[in-house]
Amino acid sequence: MYERHLLQVVYFQNEPFNHRDHVLVADLINLYTEVFPENPKEMEQEKMMLQVLKKYSNQPHGNLNNVKVSGEFRVWIYLHNKKGETYNIAIGPQKTAYEICCELASKINLPVHELILEELVLNENLIRPIHYTEKVLDIVLKWGYWDDADRKDNCLILSPLEKYNIYMSDATRPIEGELRFADCKSRNFRAFMFAVSHGNLSCYKDKMCKQLFTSWKIEDIVWYLGNESKRSPPSKHTITFISKDAKTIRSKSSPWFGNVLAFSDEAFKALWIGIMWKTAHPRDFLPPAQHINIMNT
């Protein structure tokens, strides 16, 4: 529809027309779907994304009137946990986690720089602290690429930032060590040497970290605390990570959700997460205090 409108604007603003011009415009409009072929898979995906937005606009006790004609959508935000109070918040394309924290700070009785928005997903098995600059609509839309069973109970929670104090570190130094790893294709966990260096999370075949097996740019992955319940990691100290842009859909060849790293203990996991978190956001790690315009008070 956008391309069709664009054709009308372009041609009808460039008068005078002759018969040949009119024929050309008519052909372009009538043959629109051939000139600009639509991808059926993309159309189906857009339909599914709209259904996802409507669903999360309706939880836990909303109705379809929450979906505004203007394109404004609303989502429910829980306070503290999924049993806490809920607030129905409007989200537009540019609305950030920080703006939601500002909007609900008075409801949780904490200043905005002491709050963090969380993403609770995969039947409450995974939880992620959302960086305050992230756009909330993007997060909800990406759930549309997940299998329905994986996204059906996903929600957003507002919590005190202090619960993540153990993971907060100013260190961005390189780190390496042996971790247990299983990707989305593997049931079993295998020991690999991993390292965080130069903005990458790298996996090596050898203990000297010379033979690279695979690597991920830290800025291109999303990590969650925990693992799906069907996994059997060698320890409970795990994180699950996925690519920001990948469609996380299960298949026969990839039956598991994401890649899982298992750490020997909680302190070792906290050290790695702190370095990865700081590496991904070296200059704007923590949310700023809210500025109040005293001229309006």
Q: What is the pLDDT of residues 181-236, one digit of tens each?
A: 999 999 999 999 999 999 999 999 999 999 999 999 999 999 999 999 999 999 99
Give the confidence band of 6 by pLDDT, cuts at 50, 70, 90: very low
- Is there a contact between 143 and 52 (Cβ–Cβ < 8 Å)? yes
Fold of 170-280: PH-domain like (2.30.29)
pLDDT of residue 243: 94
Mean per-residue pLDDT over the chain, rounded: 84
Average pLDDT over residues 155-167: 96
CB count, 10 Å around CB of 154? Answer: 21
DSSP one-letter string for 258-294: SEEEE-SSHHHHHHHHHHHHHHHSSS--SPPPPP--G
For tokens 């999924």, the residue is 82
Which of 42-51, 187-196, 248-257 has the least mean pLDDT? 42-51
Average pLDDT over residues 257-279: 96
Is the Cα torsion angle 58, 55, 95, 104 positive or negative in sign?
Answer: positive
Distance CA 15, CA 202 (A): 60
Dig out the tokens for 285 from the structure.
Answer: 């790690």
Average pLDDT over residues 20-38: 66
CATH code of domain 42-166: 3.10.20.90
**Domain residue ranges of the chain, discontinuous segments joined by +:** 2-35, 42-166, 170-280
For tokens 């009808």, the residue is 12
pTM for this one? Answer: 0.78
Burial of 200 (C-beta count, 10 Å sphere; 0-12/13-18/19+): middle
- Is there a contact between 188 and 151 (Cβ–Cβ < 8 Å)? no
Dig out the tokens for 217 from the structure.
Answer: 């740019």
Q: Phi/psi at 148 (nearest 5 deg)?
A: -60, -40
Share of the chain above pLDDT 70, in %: 73
Greatest C-alpha distance within the chain: 78
Distance CA 285, CA 167 (A): 12
Distance CA 66, CA 160 (A): 27
pLDDT of residue 284: 83
